[in-house]
Amino acid sequence: MKNVNFYIDGFNIYHSIDKMNNNTLKWINYKLLCQKILKDDEQINNIFYFSAYATWKQTSYLKHRVFIRALINEGINIVLGNFKKKTKYIHNIKYNYEYHEEKETDVNIAINLVRDACRNNCDKAVILSGDSDLVPAISMAKAENPKLEIVIVIPPNVKAESLKEKADYTLKLSNFKLEDFLFPKEITLKNNQKIICPMDWQ
């Protein structure tokens, strides 16, 4: 059996799903989706979920924490980056606009992908993202381990032409019926605690 590692760009997928205007899809069990992506001669080696907490948005932060607890319960490895506060000066109204920019996710994906390629930790790497910033990391992983098969699962409404050029092949997330891969509304964790799907995701 071939060992497959999955690298999930949490925010990239989340924002693509958000544009589909179906909040129920945000309660997605990525392990079930990854199992569906596998071929008959493949097995899951590791699943990595990359994201960051928007701690200044209390409601979003709490929902995200619940979701990540559900992912951890499935044995998914969580790799968190962070947000940095930035200021942009808007000249025409003479106003300093403060905003938060998510940092480190693409770097964390790159580090983990290249590490696994160099150490021959898997036979195949499946990246769920449409972020073209990952192109150099994919090129490096291929250079270090030419036998490593790299697959890109492209989110809805994303072209990702530069990623397609680097992958052995690509899949479209929109080709999968995501409704089939949702967590139940109530989950009993391995420690017997229960978590509930956020109301606006039901």
Q: Provide the residue type at 169 as one letter.
A: Y
- Tokens 């996710």: give the residue: 105
User: Residue range 119-135: average pLDDT?
Assistant: 97
Whether 24 shows a pLDDT value over 90: the answer reads yes
State the pLDDT at residue 99. 45
Q: Which of 13-22, 49-58, 96-105, 171-180 has the lowest mean pLDDT?
A: 96-105
Which parts of the chain fold into alpha helices (H)?
Answer: 10-18, 30-37, 58-73, 105-118, 135-144, 161-166
State the pLDDT at residue 91. 64
Whether 89 shows a pLDDT value over 60: the answer reads no
pLDDT confidence band for 100 (50 / 70 / 90): very low
Q: At what angle do helices 135-144 and 105-118 cross, to 10 degrees?
A: 10
54 compared with 162, residue with greater pLDDT: 162
Query: How far lies 22's CA from each of 26, 130, 155, in Å?
Result: 8, 20, 14
Q: Which of 36-45, 52-61, 164-173 has the lowest mean pLDDT?
A: 52-61
Q: CB atoms < 10 A from the CB of 57, how many?
A: 13
- Tokens 């071929």: give the residue: 39
Whether 108 shows a pLDDT value over 90: the answer reads yes
State the pLDDT at residue 95. 58
Domains of the chain, with CATH numbers? Answer: 2-201 (3.40.50.1010)
State the pLDDT at residue 54. 77
pLDDT digits 0-9 by tens, 43-67: 999 999 999 887 777 898 899 999 9
User: Residue range 118-128: average pLDDT?
Assistant: 98
Q: Which helix (H) or strand (E) holds 8?
A: strand 2-9
